[in-house]
Structure 1
């Protein structure tokens, strides 16, 4: 499976996003069609230290069971210690060049909010871009102003050919707008963490939208 294929339905989650066991939520999501997973343990009540590492390992084993890439948000040292498949970092995190040197050939995803950031990420060695927020979302308290799918269109028009995944407020009824703009897939948090039983329906929405965009 290529990286573009892995980005079709990218699930991002930590304990702060779940009403029940994260492992149960993730397994249901994986069985429903999730193609990549990012462990993002951030927030006021997030786990730290040994409990956080133990949860990361449990979720990593589930991803391995379903042959789905396991990505760590921001924490390069944790990713290396667990031999995770990669890391995703934001614009305010460690420099892309430094992270790339530490990771070697592991997957490196970068959050980008405009064409300039996308080009810088490309030059620094990013493997894919996380672009957003696409729509209004309450999941992240520190997110940037809503960009809308148009920002993905502008990146494609500027010649950015890196795999792109849209993120922010995405659900079944608007997923087609993100794919039509040129995204290779969608990254979601609450659309799956709160309703993992709907994962297959969302996956089918992505698949249908990708087929129509060709």
Structure 2
């Protein structure tokens, strides 16, 4: 199981604090990082991405470039994590150059669309109630079960996942978990990662 941390500048309090947080998570043994900063301009994101990539490379941790697909082409970067709408907008682009294309889906129909457009891994959300989406009903474990009926490939689960419920997600058919808020706000990164080890 991979434990994937999702960045959030707002929760960290700025770029320097975010880089320090990512460094500590990498040192603690996190599996992957998603640099999910959609509010930055392309140039701001690119600058931050290059800095964070150095940190992740130092620790041997995979970094996903999020959202900015054209930038991934420019940088010749092989690992992308995309909202479905971005994949739909760029559906005429050749995706063969990417090694891993994780696409977010919130229903079985969205999952099927993502796979038809070239995704080779899915992120299903949100599974449990979460403050990030307080007004939206969680999809529950059924979403994982239902997607598993037609997709045997890699599934990440996201949303309200913590060390007391993550095993339900894995038992339901997800391969990996993705976590944002608690990863960005934990005080002890080593203890945080340790709690998710099976």
Normalising by the smaller structure, the TM-score range is: 0.7 to 0.9
Q: CA deviation at 1:102?
A: 4.6
Partner of 2:9: 15
User: Matched residues in 1 for 2:42 and 2:105: separation?
Assistant: 29
Structure-2 change in CA distance of 1:117 and 1:140 (3 Å): same
1:145 corresponds to which of 131, 137, 152: 137
Alpha-carbon contact 1:96-1:121 (below 8 Å) kept: no
Aligned ranges 1:157-196 → 2 under 5 Å: 158-195=149-186
User: Matched residues in 2 for 1:127 and 1:71: separation?
Assistant: 14
Whether 1:83 aligns to 2:73 is no
Secondary structure of the residue aligned to 1:207 is coil
Q: CA-to-partner distance for each residue in 1:133-157, whole Å, 9 max, x for gaps?
A: 011222358x95310122101211x
Alpha-carbon contact 2:8-2:180 (below 8 Å) kept: no
1:135 corresponds to which of 124, 128, 135: 128
TM-score normalised by L of structure 2: 0.86
Whether 1:155 aligns to 2:147 is yes
Unaligned runs of 5+ in 1: 209-214
Q: CA-to-partner distance for each residue in 1:123-173, whole Å, 9 max, x for gaps?
A: 3221210001011222358x95310122101211x2311100100111111
User: Matched residues in 1 for 2:80 and 2:86: separation?
Assistant: 11
Structure-2 change in CA distance of 1:27 and 1:148 (3 Å): same
User: Matched residues in 1 for 2:125 and 2:197: separation?
Assistant: 20
How many residue pairs get matched? 196
Alpha-carbon contact 2:82-2:102 (below 8 Å) kept: yes
Partner of 1:207: 197
User: Matched residues in 1 for 2:6 and 2:130: separation?
Assistant: 14
User: Matched residues in 1 for 2:117 and 2:40: separation?
Assistant: 31
Whether 1:114 aligns to 2:107 is yes
Whether 1:38 aligns to 2:34 is yes
TM-score normalised by L of structure 1: 0.80
Alpha-carbon contact 1:38-1:72 (below 8 Å) kept: yes
1:92 corresponds to which of 73, 80, 85: 85
Unaligned runs of 5+ in 2: none
